[in-house]
Amino acid sequence: NDGTTNFVNMVYQHKATLIVPANVSSFKIYDEGGKSGAYSYNNRDTLVLIAPQNHVLKLTGSVTTAFSGDTLEVYSDSTINSSNLLGKKRSTSSGTSLNIGKMVSLGRYMTLYFESDASGAYSGLDLNVEVVNDEYNITIFNAEGGVVTVAGGKTTAKIGSEVLLNVTNLSAGYLL
């Protein structure tokens, strides 16, 4: 914590695990060069994030790397052999910032793998992690022209799960 923001720096040539405390709702991730420094040559850094029970991790931010050889990959579990959420992302030209978009872990785990070669080192990772509840209440608002119910009487659903709706007593026209 720098006084205003929680953050973690990846560790050079190392696989580290961060168990996110239950009272942390967001934090930043930087490469081993930190917030304002450049990353080192020949990196092979892995950071495994573990969210608190009943939470998932939402990742956004940017990478600033060399155009070739320096990449960030993000996986949905605790290893780099799991489902890939983000394939090798790098700057479109050396030293420019590339927005990585938004991705959400499929469960409590998310793994980041940052790799660099022996030429050109830039500011690297500037990532934001938000810790979010993985289960939400299902709310059906009044529908006109029919009746909508949740199959099985479910009242909550986890992120990424399937929720089946039943529509009955349809009248002419569209039900939205």
How far is the C-alpha of 10 from the C-alpha of 48, rounded, in Å? 10
How far is the C-alpha of 3 from the C-alpha of 121, rounded, in Å? 28
pLDDT band at 3 (very low <50, low <70, confident <90, very high): low
Closest alpha carbon to 146 in 125, 122, 172, 120: 172
For the CA atoms of 127, 135, 17, 73, the dihedral, rounded to the nearest 10 degrees, stands at -50
- Least confident piece of the model among 63-72, 120-129, 141-150: 141-150
Amino acid 174: pLDDT: 58
pLDDT band at 2 (very low <50, low <70, confident <90, very high): low
Better-predicted residue by pLDDT, 3 or 155: 155
Q: Write the pLDDT tens digit of every residue in 17-72.
A: 999 999 999 999 999 999 999 999 998 999 999 999 999 999 999 999 998 889 99
How far is the C-alpha of 66 from the C-alpha of 125, rounded, in Å? 12
pLDDT band at 84 (very low <50, low <70, confident <90, very high): confident
Amino acid 175: pLDDT: 54
As a whole number, mean pLDDT of residues 68-93 equals 88
- Per the prediction, the chain carries an average pLDDT of 89
Whether this model's pTM surpasses 0.85: no
